[in-house]
Chains A and B, each alone.
Chain A
Amino acid sequence: MAVRKIDLTTALRPSYLPDEDLLFVQDNVGLKYKLPNQQNGQVYLTSHRICYVDKAEPRRQSVALDLKDVERYEFYAGFLKSSAKITLIPKATKRSSLHSSIPSRSANGTPPQSQRTDSPFRAPPVEQPSASTATWVCTICSFSNPLPSNFDPATATAHTPLPPCLACGIKPTLAHVLKAAISNVSRRQTAGPPLQTPRPIQPGFSSQLSVQASGPTSSSRDPSPQDSDPDASFQCPRCTFLNHPSLLSCEICGAPLISHDLPAGLTQQSRRETESPGPFLNPSLSGASSKGVETPENVKLSFRGGGEKIFYERLKGSMTQRKWLLQGAPPIPKSSRYGDPLADNGSGTGKGVGAGAPAERVKIAGIAGLEHRGEAMRKNNELVIGSAFEDLEALMASAREVVALAEKFARQVKGAAGSNASENALLAESASQLGLITTKDIVGSGSGDSLYLSELSRTLAEFLTDDSRGVLKRAGGIISLVDLWAKFNRARGGVELVSPADFEKAANLWEKLELPVRLRTFKSGVMVVQGRDRTDEHTIKALLAWLRDLHEIPPDGELAWDWREFGRGVTARDVAERFGWSIGVAEEELEMAEERGVLCREEGIEGLTFWENLIDTGEGKGYRDPAKEAEDRMVKMLRESGFL
């Protein structure tokens, strides 16, 4: 299923994948997909996904659609009362039993091997190696493994990752796989010439052709597909075992079998997997898939608050960029002249030139080699920076590299100067989050400032609750708004700084958005930020527990009063030290506790100290008549001594 539930962060935003970039946010968007109650929420367009976060029930109704599952998308500008819509047509889902036998091509993820050949920096190979039939036989257990779909014998080097044997887990040698691939290609070239014309697949592609296209041996195997012959056994294209026709994979070797009645869409589908999911596809897919393939439902995004045009533009951009293919990939050598910038930290100067021209590699040893390497690295950095800052678009595109460079520089600076390490660490670590911050550019313009503010508010909440950063935790669970503002802007690294006014407005939204942090204003007007679960009662409890502890702990010096009974007075400084708060916060918290009648104050020559409130012990609101009291005492004494 293309649409699935997503995890939300504490701030009710989608939690991003490692390399995901936020591109656009738009609120007031309805989602038309099966469920009726996803009619108002925010849509986040990232480089990998489209996330819908419901406004009313974010935890239950939020879903995401992977862009890689999107077949194509349509734009509807809206007419009269109907709002603008973007329709996303997902790829047809396949019968699971079929594609499970093609592990390297599973529909739910880009196989790690595909990164190299499918990267946008390289033209997709014109010839599609048919992975369903190309196999290599394991030398250990003689199991026939399918060849990785992206394995290209022309470009494979010793560094090309090879999947281990599916049965025994032993990695094959490159030569072995290479041999298998080449023999397979040569076999196919003789057997299945129609495969040489891979795309585009036209809508009216006949089912007969698709059966032919499904395997190199199809022509020899069963030239005339007879849909209604139940007794016809099915010869495995690989081991020639005659399988039952209803089987989808060979009983003996596990090779995928192509059934007689396989619909055209299915075979098309399996081929299209390795191709670009770009928006050129045939519109008659639904007709073709009506037979055996589960019909995927279109997902409609209805933009009630505008912003559809920018969304569409950005969606188009990210669909073309196909960043999801890059997930987790090391920086890709752009071209031979760039060299290999950062991937191996300069382990070889000639490495980035690529496998195509290994002869160019000049071997220089010793100090000259080191110097040469440094020179090359500097040149490379220069190139990266130069090209990145050419214009804004280029900067966006190469953001990751620039950030990596910046981090490296920061490390070098730190190493040289040995300066404030923690600050630098915070900076460096925050720079990597650069892609995830909300900027005015990202949010839709339709709804004005409010969306920006609410997004900023969420970003702030995430920033605060982020465990790795521990901003709130380090400040003892409470931080003044001004401190937070400074920290936040510093973490942004000088880019897209937030104005104090916006900041305060965003902070005020926490309550409304039900985020896990809240803004609190003390009596004096000092505004602080703290977790939502941190109520005054908690604070008071902690304070009281500490004060009661002081009854047990003997003081340093001699005290005039009975510390066992009264404890000790604490100053704001003591409290700040004890709980890790700032002094201002400690003062405010103490006054809050006093206001609630839990503490009482003592102003002496030593300054203002706070004590557990033993004055208002709650017994009787009015004083008693001393005479009566004396009488009572007398009566009591008499009773005790037995006179009464």
Chain B
Amino acid sequence: MQSSPTPTPAPFAFPREYFFPPFFTRQTNLTTHHAQLVKWASLVLSYCRHHRIFKLSLSGQSPTTTTTTTTASTTTPTTNLLDATTPSSTTSDELFHNRKLNRKLSLADVREVIDFLRKDGRAEYVGGGSSGKDSGDVAWVYWRTPEEWAALIEAWVDETGQKGTVLTLYELTQGDATRGAEFHGLDPELLQKALGTLVKRQKAQIFGHEDSQGVKFF
């Protein structure tokens, strides 16, 4: 597949706009506003990708993350990732808050960005709320959509000749075998979603219980 999914230790390179003060103010001109949304959206995506953030907390100062550290063995799959074990301090809230400029994107504007991403299927509120108002302030950021993840997994299974065998979900994301694959360290919930699309296409079957699920690829 690709090169190592390990996040490079280099800090995220923010785009030029990030240092432009008006970027943090909602633009009234529709065209400018759209351009602003586009830029924010791509910033959010690339930022999350850089730091391998799958779930983003909007209001909370620290986005919840599952980070793939190089020694990810200790991480246990938990459904509630808000209690995530290793909150990466480097990514706390610098995305929407430029401390150097002392400029911050307001929550309403953040929601707008997420809504913008949602229209493209690149984000989703955790809990499935349709509008940003009543749903929680945690959102999935699909820098790869579940379909894309599914395709990656499928390709990996195909490559390694494991069709027909049963793999546990833990194996898929945390196992040694998948080390080096991009979906290594994937959020279990997201993995469920990804596998769900495969199941729909009759390409896989999930069985087992909550904490010990297995998947079989056809």
The answer to whether A613 has its CB under 8 Å from any CB of chain B is yes
- Tell whether A611 pairs with B21 under 8 Å between CB atoms, given A594-B29, A600-B27: yes
- A601 at the B interface (CB under 8 A): yes
User: B2's closest neighbor in chain A, by CB?
Assistant: A631
Beta-carbon contact of B39 and A623 below 8 Å: yes
How many A-B residue contacts, CB cutoff 8 Å? 90
Contact call B21/A626, Cβ cutoff below 8 A: no
Asked if A616 contacts B35 (CB within 8 A), the reply is: yes
Whether B3 is near chain A, meaning CB under 8 Å from some CB there, is yes
Decide if B101 touches A560 in the complex (CB within 8 Å). yes
Counting CB contacts under 8 A, is B19 at the interface? yes
User: Quick one: which of A556-600 are within 8 Å of B by CB?
Assistant: 560-562, 565-566, 569, 594-597, 600
Q: Are A569 and B22 in contact (CB under 8 A)?
A: yes
0/1 per residue, A596-615, Cβ < 8 Å to B?
11001111100001010111
B20 lies within 8 A of A611 (CB): yes
* CB atoms of B22 and A600 under 8 A apart: yes
Query: By the criterion CB–CB under 8 Å, are A602 and B25 in contact?
Result: yes
B201 contacts the other chain (CB 8 A): no
Contact B143 A627 (CB under 8 A): yes
Taking CB atoms, residues of chain A closer than 8 Å to B103 are: 604
Q: How large is the interface on A (under 10, 10 to 19, 20 to 34, 35 or more residues)?
A: 20 to 34
How many angstroms from the CA of A454 to the CA of B144 in the assembled complex?
A: 68
Contact A630 B25 (CB under 8 A): no
Q: Main SS of chain B's interface residues?
A: helix
CB neighbours of B39 from chain A (8 A) = 615, 623
Within 8 A of A (CB), among B30-51: 31-32, 34-36, 38-39, 41-42, 45-46, 49
Query: Are A626 and B42 also in contact (CB < 8 A) when A566-B19, A566-B21, A600-B22 are?
Result: yes
**Total count of chain B residues near the partner, CB < 8 A:** 32
Q: Which of B174-212 contact A (CB under 8 A)?
A: none
**A617: interface (CB < 8 Å):** yes
Would B32 and A613 count as touching, CB distance under 8 A? yes
Complex Cα–Cα for A304 and B67 (A) = 90
The answer, yes or no, to whether B17 is at the interface (CB within 8 Å) is yes
Is A624's CB under 8 angstroms from B32's CB? Answer: no
Q: Which single residue of chain B is at the shortest CB-CB distance from A605?
A: B102
A18 on the B face (CB < 8 A):
no
Expressed in whole angstroms, the Cα–Cα distance for A609 and B21 within the complex equals 10
Interface assignment of A622: CB less than 8 Å from any CB of chain B: yes
The closest CB in chain B to the CB of A623 belongs to B42
In the bound complex, do residue A615 and residue B46 qualify as a contact, i.e. CB atoms below 8 Å apart?
no
B3-A634 in contact (CB<8A)? yes
What residues of chain A have their CB less than 8 Å away from a CB belonging to chain B? Answer: 560-562, 565-566, 569, 594-597, 600-604, 609, 611, 613-618, 620-624, 626-627, 629-630, 634
6 contacts between A and B (CB under 8 A): A561-B101, A594-B29, A601-B25, A602-B24, A604-B25, A626-B49
A-B pairs with the 9 shortest C-beta distances?
Answer: A616-B35, A623-B42, A602-B22, A626-B46, A626-B45, A600-B22, A602-B25, A616-B32, A611-B22
